[in-house]
Amino acid sequence: MFEPGQILIGLEIGTSKVCAAVGEVAEGGELNILGLGQARSRGVRKGEVFDAEKAGEDIRQALAEAEEMADVTIESIYLAVTGRHLECANFRGVHTIPTVDRAIDAEDVQLALRNAKYQSCPAGAEIIDSVRQDFLVDDHAVYENPVGVVGARIEARVHVILGHANRLATSRQAVEAAVPVRVEKTVFSGLASALAVLTTEQKQAGAIVVDLGGGTTEFAFFHQGLLRHSGILAVGGDHVSNDLAYGLRVPLSRAEELKLAHGSALVRKENSAAMSGPTAGAGLTDRPVSLGKLERIMSMRWEETLELLALRLRAADALRLATEGVFLCGGGARTPGIEELAQRIFQLPVHRGIVQSVSGPATVLENPEFATPIGLVRYGAMRAKQRPRPRLFSRLTSFAGLTSRRSS
Ligand SMILES: Nc1ncnc2c1ncn2[C@@H]1O[C@H](COP(=O)(O)OP(=O)(O)O)[C@@H](O)[C@H]1O
Ligand SMILES: [Mg+2]
């Protein structure tokens, strides 16, 4: 049950960093971030734990730092998950009413939802979250809530986020083996980021959140208060650095430095002849590189990544319906020019995603990399609020700010 003053912890084991946020839920449901801890991530590839021992050390460090800053003892956490093994898709489940001239009741709805869930989940997979969309009665009329409607057939449409059960267990165990905490729930990191940066009004009107991480890029699209679509690309900022290392013929560490110091998602003509300045104690690998070339390489990779995203978003009709535009978070959102490039590709307004209705240190709130752990805290708060309702899908329809439509 939701209680003001409740402490919730979000943990993201990202490709670039492991990051924990400790949040307190205020009286009116607002979040106050009390502590944040982070460590460089060494045991993760493309969002998945591949070295549980190294990841364990990083998790310990991040959680210890967050505990100390917030002055709390962490007992349970919400854990962000991502990676190629996740599948985010819309599924349908059908339930036939045994007697034709009978009004649909809550149990019929539950059975249709259960069938949709069942349809979506092959052996070896685990459902992380599912969000009911709407219902079709007798193949034509669409309802938000079909209870009381007389019909012979009910079809539930559900957005489901699935993961490979063993990979999810690997992430959970990496945490539970490293520190004496319980993983309360795994949450898709793209959904967590969206919960951090979108307002209720934006979720209602239609908005997309894109989290540009190190090894992966996640997206979540909300419309009419519901999560309508989500997904992952196994491409992120590290691919930009790899391209730079290859194209500029410099070591990866130098490519990353050059990216942070001179990077741009757009080619700016005036830079075409400029060279990066000499580095103190410059060796062979630190020789100056052409900034024009650097920008060309970077912009090509970002353009390709955003075009891939646009394809996925267009297929979900998100680019038409997201009238509030696109909100970028994750470390990649710091890339100069990325908003302008994204705007050109998506043909929508693009903004830097800022966490909403959250208080805490400015350095935490203004950092686009912290959207996921902060969003996990909000997810936990929303889930706790809904917990008294034990029905099968009540939980699933409630988070993601879905309450705007269903909270009455
Ligand atoms: N100023 C910046 N300009 C461009 N890229 C950046 C900047 N700061 C961080 N990044 C990139 O953001 C990525 C890390 O983002 P983050 O959201 O922390 O990733 P993850 O959640 O996967 O650990 C890295 O690829 C990093 O190079
Ligand atoms: Mg991330």
Q: Whose CA is nearest to atom 3 of ligand 1?
A: 335
Work out the average pLDDT over 105-122: 91
The alpha carbon of 96 and the centre of ligand 2 are apart by a number of angstroms equal to 42
Q: Whose CA is nearest to atom 4 of ligand 1?
A: 335
On the question of pLDDT at 391 being above 60, the answer is no
The alpha carbon of 90 and the centre of ligand 2 are apart by a number of angstroms equal to 23
Where exactly does CATH 3.30.420.40 map onto the chain?
A: 199-353
Structure tokens at 203: 């979720």
The alpha carbon of 15 and the centre of ligand 1 are apart by a number of angstroms equal to 9
Q: So what's the pLDDT on residue 5?
A: 76
Which tops the pLDDT comparison, 282 or 382? Answer: 382
CB 168 within 8 Å of CB 128: yes
Work out the average pLDDT over 166-181: 96
Structure tokens at 30: 């607002």
Among the ranges given (1-10, 303-312, 371-380), the one the predictor scored with the smallest mean pLDDT: 1-10
Pocket probe mutation, ligand 1, options 216, 260, 301, max atoms within 8 Å of Cβ: 260
Where exactly does CATH 3.30.1490.110 map onto the chain?
A: 87-163
Work out the average pLDDT over 140-151: 89
On the question of pLDDT at 250 being above 70, the answer is yes
Q: So what's the pLDDT on residue 30?
A: 86
CB 292 within 8 Å of CB 272: yes
On the question of pLDDT at 218 being above 80, the answer is yes
Q: So what's the pLDDT on residue 403?
A: 33
CB-based burial, 245-269: b 16+ in 10 Å, e otherwise: bebbebeeebbbbbbeebbbbbbee
Structure tokens at 388: 């008294």
Which tops the pLDDT comparison, 150 or 206? Answer: 206
Q: Is the CB of 369 under 6 A from ligand 1?
A: yes
CA distances from 24 to 33, 189, 316, 361, 386 (A): 6, 20, 35, 13, 17
CB 220 within 8 Å of CB 191: yes
CB 211 within 8 Å of CB 372: yes
Under CATH, to which class is 87-163 assigned?
alpha beta
* Ligand index nearest the alpha carbon of residue 40: 1
The alpha carbon of 109 and the centre of ligand 1 are apart by a number of angstroms equal to 43
Q: Is the CB of 17 under 6 A from ligand 1?
A: yes
Name the CA dihedral angle for 309, 311, 315, 320, rounded to a multiple of 10 degrees: 80
Sheet containing strand 7-13, strands side by side: 182-188, 76-81, 7-13, 17-25, 31-40, 358-359
On the question of pLDDT at 135 being above 90, the answer is yes
As a whole number, the mean pLDDT across the chain is 90
CB 391 within 8 Å of CB 110: yes
pTM of the entire predicted model: 0.92
DSSP state at residue 374:
H
CB 40 within 8 Å of CB 17: yes
Between 3.30.420.40, 3.20.20.70, 3.40.1390.10, 3.30.70.600, what CATH number should domain 199-353 receive?
A: 3.30.420.40
The alpha carbon of 124 and the centre of ligand 2 are apart by a number of angstroms equal to 25
Work out the average pLDDT over 206-212: 98
Q: So what's the pLDDT on residue 400?
A: 43
Work out the average pLDDT over 321-338: 98
List CB-based neighbours of ion ligand 2 within 5 Å.
Answer: 14, 213, 372
